[in-house]
Structure 1
Amino acid sequence: MKTATVKELKEELEDKSHQELITLCLRLSKFKKENKELLTYLLFDSENEENYINTIKLEVEQNFSAVNTTSYYYIKKSVRKILRLIKKYIRYSTNKETEVELLLFFCKQMTLLKPDIKKSKVLTNIYNRELISIKKKITLLHEDLQYDYNLELEEMLTKVD
């Protein structure tokens, strides 16, 4: 089966009635958890981005507190899992401020991990890679926000060095 392009889908959806669109959305939400999560974001959380960010931060904080710190291997696995989760949530919200805010929070949580991430090359690389990514994304924001986020970023850069 050949998948239709976004343009073809848009044209076809424009021809559908209101009730047919509701039915299609509900049917789509039944197939994958991510579809349901995206629909939940669009319907309930997109209006209040600040609340969405705080909810994700709380979940990330809980995930970091549950990290198995018996070995760096388990820490690395958990950190990558948390990062995947954050990136998924960032995809739902196309807001660049949300992306920077969540990635900065992730990096702050990484610095709080015990044992220290400096002793693991892999964890340090994950941390540094995210800081580089944040730096690139900050340049796309408004000047005032750039200043505020750059201050936070500079603080993060000094924590691991």
Structure 2
Amino acid sequence: MKIESIVTIKKELKHRSQDELLELCLRLGKFKKENKALLTYLLFESHDEDGYIASVKLSLDALFEGMNTDSYFYMKKTIRKILREIRVYSRYSLKKTTEIELLLYFCEQMNMLRPSIHKNTTLSNIYERQILSIKKKISVLHEDLQYDYNVQLDALSHEV
């Protein structure tokens, strides 16, 4: 089967009735968990970005609390899982600030982990890559936002 381009799909959707479009959306939601999550975001949470960020932070808290800290190996696996989730949640929102806030929160939580992630090279490198990623994302924002986020980023570096 040949997968059509977004442009072709958009043209075809224009020719469909409202009932057909509704049926297509519901079928997409049933097909894959990510599609259902995106539809949930678009329908219920996109109007309140702060509420969305707060709910994502709560789900991240649950992952951090459930982390097995007996071994750095298990911590590393869970941290990578958390980063995957952050990427998925960030893709739903088209706002760059959402991803920055989630990554800043992720780094704060990493700093609070015991045993310290800074005693393990791999975990420390993951943390440093996220800091660099945040800096890169901040650089494209408006000056006022850059200042606010850089203050938070500086506070993170003082916690280490």
TM interval, short-chain normalised: over 0.9
What is the CA distance between 1:62 and its match in structure 2? 1.6
1:50 aligns to what? 50
What is the CA distance between 1:159 and its match in structure 2? 3.3
Larger mean CA deviation between 146-155 and 107-116 belongs to: 146-155
Partners of 2:14 and 2:142 in 1: CA distance: 34
Q: CA RMSD in A?
A: 0.9
Partners of 1:71 and 1:155 in 2: CA distance: 28
The residue identity in structure 2 corresponding to 1:135 is K
**In the alignment, is the contact (CA less than 8 A) between 1:28 and 1:35 conserved in 2?**
yes
Q: TM (normalized to structure 1)?
A: 0.97
Partners of 1:138 and 1:157 in 2: CA distance: 16
Whether 1:114 and 2:117 are equivalent positions in the alignment is no
Whether 1:124 and 2:121 are equivalent positions in the alignment is no
Identity %, equivalent residues: 56
What is the CA distance between 1:66 and its match in structure 2? 1.0
Partners of 1:59 and 1:34 in 2: CA distance: 16
Partners of 1:41 and 1:77 in 2: CA distance: 27
1:149 aligns to what? 149
2:89 aligns to what? 89
1:40 aligns to what? 40
Superposition map of 1:21-32 within 5 A: 21-32=21-32
Partners of 1:74 and 1:105 in 2: CA distance: 20
The residue identity in structure 2 corresponding to 1:23 is E
Partners of 1:156 and 1:20 in 2: CA distance: 50
Superposition map of 1:68-83 within 5 A: 68-83=68-83
Segments of structure 2 that go 5 or more residues without pairing to the other structure are: none
1:17-54 C-alpha deviation (Å, 9 max, x unpaired): 11110000001111100000000000000000000000
The residue identity in structure 1 corresponding to 2:71 is S
Whether 1:135 and 2:132 are equivalent positions in the alignment is no
Partners of 2:56 and 2:8 in 1: CA distance: 34
Aligned length: 160
1:48-87 C-alpha deviation (Å, 9 max, x unpaired): 0000000011111121111100000000011111111111
The residue identity in structure 1 corresponding to 2:147 is Y
The residue identity in structure 2 corresponding to 1:63 is L
Q: TM (normalized to structure 2)?
A: 0.97
2:20 aligns to what? 20
The residue identity in structure 2 corresponding to 1:7 is V
